[in-house]
Structure 1
Amino acid sequence: HFSGSAKFISITSLLLTWFEARTYCRQHHTDLASSFNSSDQNMLNQLLSPFNSPWFGLYRDTWKWSDGTNATDLPWAPGQPDNYGGNANCAVVYNDQFFDEPCTTMYYFFCHTNFPTRSQIMQLQVKSDGSVLDQAVQSSIFKQ
């Protein structure tokens, strides 16, 4: 599942705490899924059907994403965040809304991976009497 330059990966084989999930994502991918825009949110909502309330990269330290950026204009459920029990410092998503939860609860989670970008410049010299738009000339160029 793709969104811009990021690939979101749902991990449904492991139930982990928020901190364990973040460690797993950082070791195997890039990080917990973070900094959602509306198209990211819509795409992740489509992935939610097989599992319930997954972790993503939102935590309380004046609510930030796991990549350190401040989180604003979040789609909190009514009455959320409520910091129930005084230790609901991480967030899950359920039915398009965010809920704060204790970070020690075990949930599935979303990671994201940035695609590596790679540029390669090649210089070719082709001698031909034909046009570069000619199929045979293009074939010769691609073979080099």
Structure 2
Amino acid sequence: MNVCVSTGLSAVSSHAGRQYHFFYEKVTFDEAQRYCREKYTDLATVDSMEVVTLLNSMGGYVDVLAWIGLYDDVDSWSWSLSDTSFYKPGETEFRRWESGAPQNTSWKRCTKISSATGYWTESECSTLLSAVCFDVSGLNVTYIYTQAMTWNEAQSYCRTNHKDLASVRNEAENQQIRDQVGTNYWIGLSRESWKWSDRSDSSFRHWSDNEPDTTMKTCAAANFYKSGKWADAGCGWELQFICYRQPVSMQVIKVRLQKSNSDVDLNDRAFLDELLVKMKKEMRDKGLDDNIQLSWKKQADGQVFHKEEEKRDEL
């Protein structure tokens, strides 16, 4: 992709120090995302009206639509109970969708089970349905059925009074629930629909009226003919785009290793690369920002590690 950096306007948002860059060459969402991640931080995250106002002030040359970093994650179905100890391998992926489901529409993000068929369908989360809560005691699972409420109300109720909204891990549990219900019931499977490219958890939304409006358009663009309000768009469309850069801070951390194998060369490139991968994984597992970049700082002789001299007790 050939994007001329000199064509980009930029401004600094006063609320967070982010720098936003407009690019006027038209590319697909994936191409824009790749470019922004290589040259900047990511596609633009718009998390407040202050940022909307800033982008509107910069959008004078934008041809109607420009990509921002919001996209519809159609494969993000997950259980309300996230405790991994409750599931055996493969059980979090168990599904009993009816034929043609899920359609992954933007407005249907919660799952109900039909007592008539035992199959699952997606529904608007604001629909009033009874729900299946559950309690867990050792290996025993007990199901509890509620009065009609929305999916979010059911989740809150089940978490307050029981373990959670029911996870269905296998066909036997699905049949057990079906045998006890007399209508459609909420279960704990839902989809976290629209997400930010940089993994921001901002819930700020600035959709135009009646947007998002279709199943097939799963990426978002700011419409500068409508004061920067958002519209869904086909990810393969070629649009202008907005990147952002987050100020970068650098910190040097001293690492001390204890050699258990005398044959290992601590300054070997393959060993150093493998160690960086392990350290990055540990940081990710502890919930740290996945955008953190790690690199080794070489000393004057070009080596990373040096053997420390053992301290001797003074006589």
TM-score interval (norm. to shorter): 0.7 to 0.9
Letter in 1 for 2:249: T
Structure number with greater CO (CA < 8 Å, separation at least 6) is: 1
Question: How far off is 1:114 after superposition?
Answer: 1.3
Using the size of structure 1 for normalisation, the TM-score is 0.74
Letter in 2 for 1:108: Q
Out of 35, 53, 61, which is 1:24 matched to?
Answer: 35
Deviation beyond 6 Å, 4+ runs, structure 1: none
* Larger Rg over CA atoms: 2
Q: Which residue of 1 aligns with 2:197?
A: 66
Q: Which residue of 2 aligns with 1:132?
A: none
Out of 100, 110, 113, which is 2:232 matched to?
Answer: 100
Question: How far off is 1:53 after superposition?
Answer: 0.7
Map Cα deviations across residues 64-107 of structure 1 (whole Å, 9 max, x no partner): 11012345341211111012xx3100011112211000000000
Question: How far off is 1:111 after superposition?
Answer: 0.2
Q: Name the SS for the 1:20 alignment partner.
A: helix
2:69–2:196 Cα contact (<8 Å) kept: yes
Q: Which residue of 2 aligns with 1:78?
A: 209
Q: Whole-Å Cα distance in 1 between the matches of residues 200 and 35 of structure 2?
A: 20
2:21–2:242 Cα contact (<8 Å) kept: yes
Q: Whole-Å Cα distance in 2 between the matches of residues 79 and 101 of structure 1?
A: 13
2:47–2:202 Cα contact (<8 Å) kept: no
2:29–2:236 Cα contact (<8 Å) kept: yes
Q: Which residue of 2 aligns with 1:116?
A: 248
Q: Which structure 2 segments of 5+ residues have no match?
A: 1-10, 74-192, 252-315
Q: Whole-Å Cα distance in 2 between the matches of residues 88 and 100 of structure 1?
A: 6
Q: Name the SS for the 1:69 alignment partner.
A: coil
Q: Whole-Å Cα distance in 2 between the matches of residues 36 and 29 of structure 1?
A: 18
1:25–1:32 Cα contact (<8 Å) kept: yes
Q: Name the SS for the 1:75 alignment partner.
A: coil
Sequence identity (%): 28
Distance 1:63 1:71, change over 3 A: farther
Q: Whole-Å Cα distance in 2 between the matches of residues 92 and 37 of structure 1?
A: 16
Map Cα deviations across residues 114-133 of structure 1 (whole Å, 9 max, x no partner): 122369xxxxxxxxxxxxxx
Q: Which residue of 2 aligns with 1:88?
A: 217
Map Cα deviations across residues 5-32 of structure 1 (whole Å, 9 max, x no partner): 21001111x2110011000000111100
Using the size of structure 2 for normalisation, the TM-score is 0.35
